[in-house]
Structure 1
Amino acid sequence: MSFLAVLSSVKEPATFKEASSCKEWVRAMQDEVNALEQNATWTVVDLPPGKKAIGSKWVYKVELQANGQVERYKARLVAKGYNQQEGLDYHETFSPVAKMVTVRTTIGVVASQDWPLYQMDVHNAFLQGDLLEDVYMEMPQGFQTQGENKVCKLLKSLYGLKQASRQWNQKLTEALLSIGYSQSSYDYSLFTKRDGEDIAVILIYVDDLLITGNSNKLIQELKDSLHSRFKMKDLGVLKFFLGIEIMRSKSGILLNQRKYALELISDTGLSGAKPVNTPLETNVKLTTVEYDELTGTTADPILKDITGYQRLVGRLLYLTITRPDISFAAQVLSQFMQHPKRSHWEAALRVVRYIKSCPGQGMLLSSKRSWNLKYSVMQTGQLVPTQGGL
């Protein structure tokens, strides 16, 4: 079955009613509740007088492998944090995540120094943070007891709470500092530890951890320490991260977003469209609404679906992480986010058709110390350098 066929055959339910009719999703919800109870996330109590319980909902996600095959059905219980009141249910919420430039730079160093690059995942990371406030939540849908009016008093953070990410990040940061790691002042998600000439590096993106360095000893000590503190999953050599596929060869490390690109093509209904050779049409001038008003132009109406345009351009901007060839086009289109017109929408769709001409194109981080960046095309799982260098 093709990758696009898998995408269209696997549907994620939008409601609990839809999910409850499928045994895979029922099992996923039960697994989630079991994990929460084993983690002592809450205790079931009567709602105290004068207190309000926030709601909860189920979010369903099909996790796919790099080849598009289903890896698992994931049901996540999410608190309706938008009902929380500042100063009562939460206080501070800020939590850093790794900057994308830090991710690419780290992988560039890995390629040039021939370091190993590993990935670890924290199981139910947001549940690890300690909750300081008294927060009450309604019982999860599908797990209420008939005739009782019980609620969950949260003892630990839960996905959806405004402070959940911050509490988890603080706990992980404290753990890393306690074993001798130093936090970068440029990117608070980057930690390093040195022992003479040896170095270990860990980069945090919420619950995804990238680990590298020139010392197998320091790396293993780090993994062991994390395993002793949290429920971790060692994913081995990094292959897929934030929608980016990582492929290694003697030439270096290729970053591409083929899966993301194919999903974009499918979602825009352009799977059967004819590809084009350039992101933007030559000599076409995109104008603003204000310009049209000054010149009396009426043939290019404002879009009704402004959100759809903003979403599409946002996805194109994310694709520029590994596709600098569409950076200019994406930046041009982003200038019309507030009042997009039909011509802007058609131009954005043209970029998608350009991507369709080679969805597996990516960025090669060279193994040479010069750190030359080159375009590369993925064909049958191999790295094929092209002549276009950066």
Structure 2
Amino acid sequence: MKSEIESMHVNQVWNLLDPPDGVKAIECKWVFKKKTDVDGNIQIYKTRLVAKGFRQIQGVDYDETFSPVTMLKSIQIVLAIAAYFNYEIWLVNVKIAFLNGDLNEDVYMTQPKGFGDPQSAKKICKLHKSIYGLKQASWSWDIRFDEVVKALGFVKNEEEPRVYKKISGNALVFLILYVDDILLIGNDIPMLESVKTSLKNSFSVKDLGEAAYILGIRIYRDRSKRLIGLSQSTYIDKVLKRFNMQDSKKGFLSMSHGINLGKNRCPQMTDERSKMSVIPYALAIGSIMYAMLCTRPDVSYALSATSRY
């Protein structure tokens, strides 16, 4: 928590002032989270100070909120290109990414509990940076990142706004942003190093070296054969455990032969519907769908059949 507050001060996220007339400051809270690696092992315990953005008023506290997110298929396509041409694949993480976004609106927040200034207890925070939880936080960070990357000579893909490309002679670098993770893919190591250094000069980043994972998906690579494999075994194990199926028998077929699904198997009576209402069937389908979209297209038919009812 102290580290989080220090980050706020270093990035000049707010300054304290007396509440202006007619202004009601939004509250903030602490969020606690365990950060795990791709194998599910706990790496660090994190705390995040977030604003209660649900109390913001549109047109007063915020206006624009939309920010594009890179599609999974775009990441898969660029990884396939990297495998075919044997490009480097590096990963960089931007620390406290949203705090890099500047606020255009006047937004006021209460002082964080436990870390308020005792000599200024009645004062509130006037925000200058887009703190986590604000409606416009993602949009502000996106605008800032786009400005920095374009200044480095990257060109945005027209169809996929967070996929960039830079060409200099025979050197080529792809840059993909997914929230705060940056994939750098290219054929020229000096140019990749130069891009990484430029990013470090603009943001506080963590260099994760050769990409071993992205979005919780493990990346396996055999450069001698120019092959790349993607795995979500840890995610799938978590899904099984979540729905108490961790001891279920594993098989090679996504759907057993002879299973007939239809409306006649849906709950008909009131008591049947009541019983089914507490079973997280739709949640399970959605959890499997994420794996299907990322790494398991082989279960698409079974998922389609079971999601109809």
What is the TM-score when the length of structure 2 is the normalising length? Answer: 0.92
Pairwise CA distance, 1:203? 0.4
Q: 1:208 to 1:273 in 2, by over 3 A?
A: same
2:16 to 26, 40, 44: 44
Residues 261-301 of structure 1 deviation map (CA, whole Å, 9 limit, x = unaligned) = 11111111122233344322323232348x969xxx55993
Selected match of 1:283 from 258, 266, 272: 258
Aligned length: 303
- Are 1:247 and 2:220 an aligned pair? yes
1:187 and 2:160 correspond: yes
Q: Which SS does the other structure have where 1:53 is aligned?
A: coil
Tell me if structure 2 keeps the 8 A contact 1:246–1:256.
Answer: yes
Higher RCO by CA contacts (8 Å cutoff, separation 6 or greater): 2
**Correspondence 1:30 to 2:5:** no
Specify the alignment match of 2:83 in structure 1: 111
Report the equivalent of 2:71.
99
Cα deviations by residue, 1:150-188 (Å, 9 ceiling, x for unpaired):
322111001111111111111111111112110001100
Paired position in structure 2 for 1:162:
135
5+ residue gaps, structure 2, are none
1:16-70 deviations in whole A, cap 9, x for unaligned? xxxxxxxxxxxxx111111111110111222222111112122221111233332
Query: TM-score, normalising length from structure 1?
Result: 0.73
> Aligned Cα RMSD in Å?
2.1
Matched residue of 1:283: which SS?
Answer: coil
Residue matched to 1:301? 272
CA contact (8 A) 1:292 1:298 kept: no
**Residue aligned with 2:8, SS:** helix
Letter in 2 for 1:101: K
| Percent identity between the two aligned chains | 35
1:266 matched to 2:241? The reply is: yes
Q: Structure 1 residues 217, 279: CA separation in 2 closer, same or farther (over 3 Å shift)?
A: same
Instruction: Report 1:124-273 matches (<5 A).
Output: 124-144=96-116, 148-249=121-222, 250-251=224-225, 252-273=227-248
**For 1:121 and 1:154, how far apart are their aligned partners in 2?**
24
1:145 CA drift (Å): 5.1
Which of residues 301, 322, 334 in structure 1 aligns to 2:295?
A: 322
Q: Secondary structure at the match of 2:44?
A: strand
Aligned-partner SS, 2:146: helix
CA spacing shift, 1:301–1:155, aligned 2, 3 Å: same
Separation in structure 1 between the aligned mates of residue 89 and residue 299 of structure 2, nearest angstrom: 28
Structure 2 partner of 1:379: none
**Contact 1:317 1:331 (8 Å CA) reproduced:** no
CA distance in 2, matches of 1:33, 1:229: 21
Distance 1:255 1:327 in 2: 17
